[in-house]
A = this chain, B = another copy of it.
Amino acid sequence: MRIERTQWDPAQNALEESLFHTANGYLGVRACPEEGAPKGVPSIRGAYINAFYDVKPIRYGEKLYGFPETQQGIVNLTDVQNVRLCLEDEAFEPLKAGTVLAYRRTLDMERGIVTRYIRWRSKKGKEIEVTVQRMASLSQRELFIMQYTVKSLNFSGRVRLISREEGDVTNFADPNDPRVAGEALQHLKVEEVCALDNGGLIRSSTLASGLQLAVAAGYAPPAGFSLEIETQPAALEARMEGSLSQGQSITLVKRCVFADSRRHPDPAQAARSILKEAAARPVSYYEALQKKQLDAFWQRSRLTVKGDEALQSSLDFSLYSLYCSAGRDAVSSLAAKGLSGEGYEGHYFWDTEIYVFPFFLMTDPALARSLLDYRHTILPAAREHARIMGHSNGALYAWRTIAGSECSGYFPSGSAQYHLSGDIAHAFLQYYYATNDLNYMAEKGGEVLVETARLFLNAGHWHEGSFRIGAVTGPDEYSCIVDNNFYTNAGAQETMRGAAMITRKLMEAGLADQLLAATNVTLEELEAFDRAADAMYLPYDETLGIHAQDDGFLKLAKLDLSAIPKENFPLLLHYHPLWLYRHQVCKQADTVLAHFLYEDLADEEVMRRSYDYYERCTTHDSSLSACVFAIMAARLGDMDKAMDYFRHSATLDLDDAHGNTKDGIHTANMGGTWLGMVSGFGGLRVKTDGLHLHPQLPNGWESYSFPLRWRESQLRVHVTGSGCRVEVQSGGEISLWVYGKPVQVSPGQVVEVALPKG
């Protein structure tokens, strides 16, 4: 279970920095060259703590009422990646001088370790091997360990190692790409640099948000090497010197601890104490814990395919990356780029709930619940956002945010995406259906459901007997500010129904006190939710026999996508938004996604026509698109097309298909890969009446299998050409629907269900 690159290509450096980053849900460190990247070699040097942000102003050409004045952005942390190696008078600078004889970059997904290996000959002929191992500890989230090993092949002499912790850092910017920050800004100010035993500590604070960061580093130099620590105004430098003989290996171990004030009342104190504990333990201690935690992860999560080795790696990479990206506390979630880069500025989007949440829900409900906790944490900010947007009650979640307030500088494809509030409600409801955890609904879920339902009731209006929602933007950002977006309305319908249902359940169970205290929700309000949900307007075109993406879409100018030059994709980088809005063109699945999430709203023929129609309009310029088309192609029985989309999704980052993985991995797409397999080929749906499976085998595969968590039970589903086997590996008996038929499976039992004919 590993990802490996052996091609030495400095032009790919920034891409590899993303792919081989190390992260643990709290901390992420890009795989930047320890010796630094010379000019001309693309590099985005960075390390991040999930939800550790600064605040900066948003500027507008014309600022209208309610436009957010500031936004949060993830902060590039104190840089601990620097290690410079000198062999006598020659520096190890493989990107700049000498000759690289062999190169290997490895991500070991069973051990949770990233390795950079270089065999190098200096200008003067010294040959060495440098192997750097990195680990972001899964058992001690603040801990990042680097092991820097040098082996001499033909050289004996003095060796110096200079390692730095650099406090003077800025964030990356590209003013011409709306997907990364527009202005390079310094966010971190060094407050104090002090020496510790065999190391030191840099204490910093963010300039505007007032958060604190402490980074402690502890050195175990190679045996026989001297160690000298120097504190500088904004850096810590460790200088080590000693001898190396031909054939000998030496290893520097550097333990770094990142503690922030969002999790620690005294970050400096926490960093010292965690470092002290870590320094007292061998690296192998953390490696063993890492392995154990990953064993359990793979046990409950791994998708296995027989007959497609290459794809297996992509699947592993996707799930591993998600596991390393997901926040595990109530202040953090899972960012669009995880912890692998600064793209989208570390913001959380709907990506989490719609694309990634199902994977955790069905494999690690506790982690899934933690993602929901985050949404409950920021509910007050969502209420405030709703007021700014003109709603007298309810909660409108910010389209992109870290701490809760709206961080979008362009509301037509930002705050206007009201569907996010429906997506969040959908996740809470899915959690309830999958876990039956009514206590969580009493504590947090009900409140989020009632507040989002209120938002939709307030945002919509009655017209000719139907309930409508004007002026919103659906998932497809190539149509903005539209009336009655089908996807949004369907989500609003589910939200209002779900809020009423959960509230009534809590009342019946005598568990509604907390919800009532928090929301003052009344029975009249529940009835109003139901009335609006029942009368929800879902635009349908009689002539085409499909649901319209919105009231206007099907009357817009058509666009022949095949006539657009390839280099003009993604269209958003080559066409003014107004031109896009004027055409029947979709950045990504919108109505097609609605047919996946809310499949009972349309019969199969409508879904099929809809799929065909919208597929012709869709550029898949968003990385969130392909997986949805994969799922729906499988749903409609076109397994070859499903496989094409699925493959595109599964390999998107490893192939750098969108050309911007340098800014970070595409976590939503990775969740989409899981969905493509489990909800696509496996036909998984979680509905009010329980768990549904409809497993089909794509052409070319021998079989595949996936584990699932359902209520208290651990399942495994194995799929072959003739049908599937469902096994309950632990927990109690479960009932589910397979191929539309009810099936019971007892613990230890394996039930085979044959694929229905036709």
Indicate whether A410 reaches chain B with its CB closer than 8 angstroms. Answer: yes
Whether A470 touches B61, Cβ cut-off 8 Å, given contacts A461-B557, A575-B66, is no
Chain B residues whose CB sits within 8 angstroms of the CB of A463 once the complex forms? 555, 557
Whether A178 touches B63, Cβ cut-off 8 Å, given contacts A461-B557, A551-B555, A558-B461, is yes
Indicate whether A389 reaches chain B with its CB closer than 8 angstroms. Answer: yes
Chain B residues whose CB sits within 8 angstroms of the CB of A411 once the complex forms? 576-578
Q: Which single residue of chain B is at the shortest CB-CB distance from A182? A: B63
Indicate whether A582 reaches chain B with its CB closer than 8 angstroms. Answer: yes
> How far apart sit A410 and B578, CA to CA, in the bound complex (Å)?
12
Indicate whether A699 reaches chain B with its CB closer than 8 angstroms. Answer: no
Which chain A residues numbered 63 to 79 have a C-beta less than 8 Å away from chain B?
63-68, 71
Partner of A65, one of B415, B555, B572: B572
Chain B residues whose CB sits within 8 angstroms of the CB of A61 once the complex forms? 58-60, 67-68, 71, 182, 408-410
Chain B residues whose CB sits within 8 angstroms of the CB of A410 once the complex forms? 60-62, 64
CB distance B62 to A408 under 8 Å?
yes
Indicate whether A480 reaches chain B with its CB closer than 8 angstroms. Answer: yes
Name the distance in Å between A484's Cβ and chain B's nearest Cβ.
Answer: 8
CB distance B59 to A60 under 8 Å?
yes
Indicate whether A128 reaches chain B with its CB closer than 8 angstroms. Answer: no
Indicate whether A574 reaches chain B with its CB closer than 8 angstroms. Answer: yes
Indicate whether A747 reaches chain B with its CB closer than 8 angstroms. Answer: no
**B-contact 0/1 string along A520-562, CB 8 Å cutoff:** 0000000000000000000000000000000110011110000
> How far apart sit A67 and B480, CA to CA, in the bound complex (Å)?
16
CB distance B178 to A62 under 8 Å?
yes
Indicate whether A101 reaches chain B with its CB closer than 8 angstroms. Answer: no
Whether A483 touches B555, Cβ cut-off 8 Å, given contacts A58-B61, A390-B579, A582-B470, is yes
Indicate whether A459 reaches chain B with its CB closer than 8 angstroms. Answer: yes
Indicate whether A175 reaches chain B with its CB closer than 8 angstroms. Answer: yes
Size class of the A contact interface (CB-based, 8 Å): 35 or more
Name the distance in Å between A424's Cβ and chain B's nearest Cβ.
Answer: 19
> How far apart sit A747 and B389, CA to CA, in the bound complex (Å)?
63
Name the distance in Å between A344's Cβ and chain B's nearest Cβ.
Answer: 11
Indicate whether A666 reaches chain B with its CB closer than 8 angstroms. Answer: no
CB distance A582 to B409 under 8 Å?
no
Chain B residues whose CB sits within 8 angstroms of the CB of A58 once the complex forms? 61
Partner of A459, one of B178, B412, B460, B582: B582
Q: Which single residue of chain B is at the shortest CB-CB distance from A573? A: B65
**B-contact 0/1 string along A378-404, CB 8 Å cutoff:** 000000000011110000000000000
Indicate whether A121 reaches chain B with its CB closer than 8 angstroms. Answer: no
Name the distance in Å between A63's Cβ and chain B's nearest Cβ.
Answer: 6
CB distance A575 to B390 under 8 Å?
yes
Indicate whether A303 reaches chain B with its CB closer than 8 angstroms. Answer: no
Indicate whether A581 reaches chain B with its CB closer than 8 angstroms. Answer: yes
Chain B residues whose CB sits within 8 angstroms of the CB of A182 once the complex forms? 60-63
Which chain A residues numbered 573 to 600 have a C-beta less than 8 Å away from chain B?
573-579, 581-583
Which chain A residues numbered 409 to 457 have a C-beta less than 8 Å away from chain B?
409-412, 414-416
> How far apart sit A504 and B66, CA to CA, in the bound complex (Å)?
51
Chain B residues whose CB sits within 8 angstroms of the CB of A555 once the complex forms? 463, 468, 470, 483, 551
Indicate whether A176 reaches chain B with its CB closer than 8 angstroms. Answer: yes
> How far apart sit A416 and B558, CA to CA, in the bound complex (Å)?
19
> How far apart sit A63 and B416, CA to CA, in the bound complex (Å)?
17
Chain B residues whose CB sits within 8 angstroms of the CB of A311 once the complex forms? none
CB distance A389 to B578 under 8 Å?
yes
Chain B residues whose CB sits within 8 angstroms of the CB of A577 once the complex forms? 64-66, 411
> How far apart sit A574 and B65, CA to CA, in the bound complex (Å)?
6
Chain B residues whose CB sits within 8 angstroms of the CB of A416 once the complex forms? 578
Q: Which of A472, A556, A578 has the most CB of B within 10 A?
A: A578
CB distance A389 to B557 under 8 Å?
no
Chain B residues whose CB sits within 8 angstroms of the CB of A558 once the complex forms? 461
Indicate whether A234 reaches chain B with its CB closer than 8 angstroms. Answer: no
Chain B residues whose CB sits within 8 angstroms of the CB of A579 once the complex forms? 389-391
CB distance B552 to A483 under 8 Å?
yes
Name the distance in Å between A418's Cβ and chain B's nearest Cβ.
Answer: 9
Which chain A residues numbered 30 to 59 have a C-beta less than 8 Å away from chain B?
58-59
Chain B residues whose CB sits within 8 angstroms of the CB of A556 once the complex forms? 461, 470-471, 483
Chain B residues whose CB sits within 8 angstroms of the CB of A65 once the complex forms? 572-577
Indicate whether A751 reaches chain B with its CB closer than 8 angstroms. Answer: no
Chain B residues whose CB sits within 8 angstroms of the CB of A461 once the complex forms? 556-558
Q: Which single residue of chain B is at the shortest CB-CB distance from A469? A: B582
> How far apart sit A388 and B574, CA to CA, in the bound complex (Å)?
9
Indicate whether A3 reaches chain B with its CB closer than 8 angstroms. Answer: no
Q: Which single residue of chain B is at the shortest CB-CB distance from A387? A: B576
Chain B residues whose CB sits within 8 angstroms of the CB of A573 once the complex forms? 65
Whether A581 touches B63, Cβ cut-off 8 Å, given contacts A555-B463, A576-B390, is no
Indicate whether A481 reaches chain B with its CB closer than 8 angstroms. Answer: yes
CB distance A389 to B576 under 8 Å?
yes
Chain B residues whose CB sits within 8 angstroms of the CB of A557 once the complex forms? 460-461, 463, 468, 470
Name the distance in Å between A333's Cβ and chain B's nearest Cβ.
Answer: 21
Whether A552 touches B175, Cβ cut-off 8 Å, given contacts A64-B576, A64-B577, is no
> How far apart sit A461 and B409, CA to CA, in the bound complex (Å)?
31
**B-contact 0/1 string along A178-208, CB 8 Å cutoff:** 1000100000000000000000000000000
Chain B residues whose CB sits within 8 angstroms of the CB of A583 once the complex forms? 470
> How far apart sit A351 and B445, CA to CA, in the bound complex (Å)?
53
> How far apart sit A555 and B471, CA to CA, in the bound complex (Å)?
11
> How far apart sit A552 and B469, CA to CA, in the bound complex (Å)?
12
> How far apart sit A64 and B408, CA to CA, in the bound complex (Å)?
13
Chain B residues whose CB sits within 8 angstroms of the CB of A472 once the complex forms? 578
CB distance A66 to B576 under 8 Å?
yes
> How far apart sit A470 and B550, CA to CA, in the bound complex (Å)?
14
List 12 A–B pairs whose Cβ atoms lie within 8 Å, in order of A's numbering.
A60-B409, A60-B410, A61-B67, A61-B182, A62-B408, A63-B176, A65-B574, A459-B582, A470-B555, A470-B582, A471-B578, A481-B481
- A-B residue pairs, 7 tightest by C-beta: A61-B409, A390-B579, A461-B557, A66-B576, A59-B59, A471-B582, A58-B61
Given A389-B579, A480-B481, 6 more pairs with CB closer than 8 A: A61-B67, A62-B182, A62-B410, A390-B576, A391-B579, A461-B556
A: which residues have CB within 8 A of B? 58-68, 71, 175-176, 178, 182, 388-391, 408-412, 414-416, 459-461, 463, 468, 470-472, 480-481, 483, 551-552, 555-558, 572-579, 581-583
